[in-house]
Amino acid sequence: MNSQDNQPLPQTRCAGDDQQAGQGSARRDDQLRQVSLHRRYTCHAEGSVLVSFGQTKVLCCASIEDRVPGFLKGKGQGWVTAEYGMLPRSTHTRSDREAAKGKQGGRTMEIQRLIGRCLRAVVDLQALGERTITVDCDVLQADGGTRTASVTGACLAVFDALETLALRQTDAAAAQRIRAALKDRVAAVSVGLVAGRALLDLDYLEDSGCDTDMNIAMTASGGLIEIQGTAEGEAFSRRELDAMLALGESGLQRLHALQAELMQKPEQLQATLKG
C-alpha cells in the first residue's frame, strides 16, 4: 500500500465512472463532482430545475395547486410533497417502469418521502396557505446520489414556484407572505467510507463498493434534517462518523452557496460548481 493512503484528507480517489464518462480527472476525497443547476428548464411547471451531480441528472418540477389533502382541509395551512421516479434507461440496463408493474417499489417510496420531509422542514406551511406544492423528481441519468441531487434541485424548484405564485398576486402583502414561505434552504449530499477513507459525493462505482454509505440533508442555517447511514460490512466508529459528518457539512456549504447564487439573481438561469 502506498504510504499516501494513510495521510489525512485531502487525497485523490480513483477516477471511477467520471473517467469512463470522459471527464478524465480523479477527484480529491473532499471534492464534489461538478454540480450544476439549470432553472426554468420546462415551460409549464411553476418551478423547474435540471440538477446535475456529475453524470447524475434529475429533473425537478414543482407544481402548485389550490387544494390540500383531506386531513388539512379548513386548517389554513398548506402541504409540500414529492414524487420520485427513474426513467427506464437512466441506468446501465433498462428497467421496467413501475407503472407497468402496478406499484411503486420500496426504494422509490423511501426516497420520495425523504424529499418531502426535507422540503417541509424549510417551508412555512401556514404562510403557504391552503395550497399544495408537489415536486416531481425524475431521474434522467443515474450515476449515484440521485436522492441527494433531487433534494438539492427540488429546493430551488420550490423557490421558483413560490416566486411564480407571488407574481400572480394582486395584493403586495399576499405576495410577500408567499415569498417568505421558504424560510431556509436545504441541500443533501452523500458521504461514505471506502477502504477506511471518507469520501464525499459518491458516484455509482464508489457507492457500490463502499464500506459505509451515508446521506446527509442540512439547511443553510446548519440544521440537520436527515442522516441516513448504514454499514455495509464492518461497523464504523464514532470517530469515522464525525469525520463523515464534517466532510458532508463542508460539501453542503458549497451546495447552499450555489443555490443562493441563483436565488439572489432571478434572471440567472444556470450556475455551476466545479467541485
* CATH, residue 148: 3.30.230.70
For residue 199, being part of any structural domain is answered with yes
User: Which parts of the chain fold into alpha helices (H)?
Assistant: 16-20, 98-101, 106-120, 125-128, 146-167, 172-179, 204-208, 238-263
Query: Contact 200/251 with Cβ under 8 angstroms?
Result: yes
For residue 274, being part of any structural domain is answered with no
Q: Average the pLDDT over 38-64 and give the result.
A: 98
Higher pLDDT, 13 or 242: 242
For residue 229, being part of any structural domain is answered with yes
Local confidence band at 103 (pLDDT 50, 70, 90 cut-offs):
confident
Per-residue pLDDT reduced to its tens digit, 171-197:
999 999 999 999 999 999 999 999 889
Per-residue pLDDT reduced to its tens digit, 238-273:
999 999 999 999 999 999 999 999 999 999 999 999
For residue 5, being part of any structural domain is answered with no
For residue 19, being part of any structural domain is answered with no
What pLDDT is recorded for position 226? 97
Please tell me whether the peptide bond between 10 and the residue prior to it is cis, using omega within 30 degrees of 0. yes
Mean pLDDT, the chain, as a whole number? 91
For residue 233, being part of any structural domain is answered with yes
Per-residue pLDDT reduced to its tens digit, 193-214:
998 899 999 999 999 989 999 9
Domain containing 50 equals 29-93+104-266
Q: Average the pLDDT over 122-126 and give the result.
A: 98
Name the residue with cell 418540477: 61
Query: Contact 86/48 with Cβ under 8 angstroms?
Result: no
Distance CA 273, CA 36 (A): 6
For residue 8, being part of any structural domain is answered with no
Distance CA 58, CA 85 (A): 10
Instruction: Give the number of domains in the chain.
Output: 1
257 phi, psi to nearest 5 deg = -65, -35
Highest mean pLDDT of the ranges 59-63, 72-76, 97-101? 59-63
For residue 253, being part of any structural domain is answered with yes
